[in-house]
């Protein structure tokens, strides 16, 4: 019989307490529930500021946000009730124009400058109750002249 010293006994007890299988050196992992990530919304708009000549592409990004179960929404122009509404991926790009082209004109101004009011929302539906954060802003689009021949 082999003598047992205090260190061997402490190691054996520790291994037995943590789920060791028979003191052979193998152990079974005890799964722990993941620690929920705190809700931390992150909103990025590119270009910043979102101003430019039409057809202006603006990217709305909330992918760096953290939480348990996130849902994303982007409204490209909520004051006029147009554009995408509802759940979208965390990263989406819209193209903004100044609209109204009139046929038959040799030089056309597409329109005057236009503003679009956007709203980005990230909601953690894994929280009870769900929590949301909102960022609103304005996309400013300048017209460009088009010469037709």
Tell me which of 2.70.40, 3.40.50, 1.10.287, 2.60.40 is the CATH number of domain 44-147. 2.60.40
10-55 tens-digit pLDDT: 444 444 444 444 545 555 666 666 667 899 999 999 999 999 998 8
Q: Are the beta carbons of 135 and 94 closer than 8 angstroms?
A: no
CA dihedral for 51, 117, 133, 74, sign (positive or negative):
negative
Kindly state the average pLDDT of the residues 107-122: 79
59-86 tens-digit pLDDT: 999 999 999 999 999 998 888 876 666 6
| Token pair in block for residue 140 | 């400013």
103 or 124, which is more confident: 124
Domain segments of the chain: what residues?
1-32, 44-147
Q: H-helix or E-strand containing 46?
A: strand 44-46
- Alpha helices (H) along the chain: 6-17
What's the pTM value of the predicted model, to 2 decimals? Answer: 0.67
* Closest C-alpha among 101, 108, 98, 103 to residue 146: 108
Q: Are the beta carbons of 74 and 58 closer than 8 angstroms?
A: no
């Amino acid at each position: 019989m082999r003598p047992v010293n205090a260190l061997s006994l402490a190691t054996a007890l520790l291994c037995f307490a943590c789920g060791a299988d028979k003191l052979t050196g193998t152990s079974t992992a005890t799964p722990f529930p993941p620690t929920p990530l705190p809700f931390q919304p992150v909103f990025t708009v590119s270009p910043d500021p979102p101003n430019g000549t039409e057809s202006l592409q603006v990217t709305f990004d909330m992918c760096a946000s953290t939480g348990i179960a996130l849902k994303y929404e982007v409204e490209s122009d909520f004051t006029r009730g147009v554009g995408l509404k509802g759940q979208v991926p965390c990263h989406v790009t819209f193209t903004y124009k100044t609209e109204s082209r009139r046929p038959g004109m040799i030089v056309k101004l597409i329109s005057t400058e236009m503003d679009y009011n956007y709203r980005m929302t990230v909601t953690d539906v894994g929280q009870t109750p769900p929590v949301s954060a909102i960022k609103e802003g304005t996309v400013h689009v300048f017209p460009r002249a088009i010469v037709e021949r």
